[in-house]
Structure 1
Amino acid sequence: MALSPETEAIARKAAAGDATALDALLTRIRPDVLRQCGRFLPCLQDAEEACQDALLQVALHITRFEGRSKFSTWLHVVVANCARQTYRSLKRRAAERVAAELPVNLPDPRTTSVIAGSRLDLLDALERLEAQRPNLVAALVLRDLCQLDYDEIAEQLAIPVGTAKSQVHRARQHVRHSLDRA
């Protein structure tokens, strides 16, 4: 999600405490945040829930944006974390509902969202990767889902570009293996 230079400037003002700039920023970024959440959660209602969470996190924590990198890079991390957290919450709620209802014909929860009816095996593979190799998840999410370039990933994670490339490669291998087993 590439933001205009004007939006980046508004973000810096909002980070400095300008409430009017924060309102303008949230209005400007909402469509991009929703689109990015949709990459994680294909069901529109789920993506909208994650989008609202991400916008709330931006509003609450904008002062943590220090301007050392582009605001769009900082925002990618916030959106990715909120979308993944929303997925975890939806999965937990669905499991609780299923346990309470005890339906006869359950879809495979590893590959089907009971909320959206869409394949979610990638998000489950990311969960497994995070459990086994937590240091690799961020690089993979930023590269393959948020579509940041390696320089931005390295800057965001404070690692050399070569390390970012290596982490993405190893994470892809793990996820591919995990998806093959599913």
Structure 2
Amino acid sequence: MDDPVYGPDEIDDLARRAQGGDRDALEVLLGAVRPRALNVCRGVLPHLADAEDACQEALINISRKIDTWNGRGRFTTWMHVVCVNSARSTYRKLKNQAVAADPTEVGPLESPDPRTTSVIAGTRLDLLEAMETIERDHPQLVEPLLLRDVYGLPYDEIARLVDAPLGTVKAQIHHGRKMTRPLLSAERTTD
């Protein structure tokens, strides 16, 4: 038997009930949003196993932080941000493990898969590296930029998510794009 499909209003209702302490609603909610959470994580991490790890972290974070959803926008939009942040956190962990690993234990490098190529960058990993660099000095730019240019959320929705005026969000995205371009072109010209 197929799992039931829940619409946006039903998801929001489950989230409100879960915020109120209904553990059954929380379990149903997590099951209902898991496929979407995995897709968001796969948008950042091209390898399925890595995306699944990030998705698991995202679901744990959703269950722990559900009280921070303010109900002004859709629950799935709020969840999207939690998933992006979990995927970025997983990426950082993987990067740190790779740096610490013995280079002689690493096998041959895989050829890039065109299905994992970002519209913005040569690869998603190029974009993640650029975001890591920008975040050091300008952390406020990264989330709006990823939500707009990777996930295509509209400006007004991003403004609600990050709780900032629309003009500020547009300026952050514009500034983030200006800072990202040279980082991506520098990566691509060294190949």
TM-score (norm 2): 0.81
Change (3 A) 1:169 1:106: farther
Give distance in 1, aligned partners of 2:152 and 2:82.
14
Structure 2 equivalent of residue 128 of structure 1: 133
Structure 2 equivalent of residue 89 of structure 1: 93
CA contact (8 A) 1:80 1:146 kept: no
The letter of the residue matching 2:15 is A
Structure 2 equivalent of residue 162 of structure 1: 167
Change (3 A) 1:42 1:14: same
Structure 1 equivalent of residue 186 of structure 2: 181
Structure 1 equivalent of residue 4 of structure 2: none
Give distance in 1, aligned partners of 2:104 and 2:153.
42
Q: Percent identity?
A: 43
Say yes or no: does 1:8 pair with 2:4: no
Change (3 A) 1:91 1:106: farther
Say yes or no: does 1:58 pair with 2:58: no
> How far is the alpha carbon of 1:132 from its aligned partner?
2.5
Structure 2, unaligned runs of 5 or more: 1-6, 117-121
> How far is the alpha carbon of 1:12 from its aligned partner?
1.2
Structure 2 equivalent of residue 146 of structure 1: 151
Structure 1, unaligned runs of 5 or more: none
Q: How many residues align?
A: 170
The letter of the residue matching 1:132 is D
SS in 1 for 2:17: helix
2:76 to 57, 72, 78: 72
> How far is the alpha carbon of 1:103 from its aligned partner?
6.0
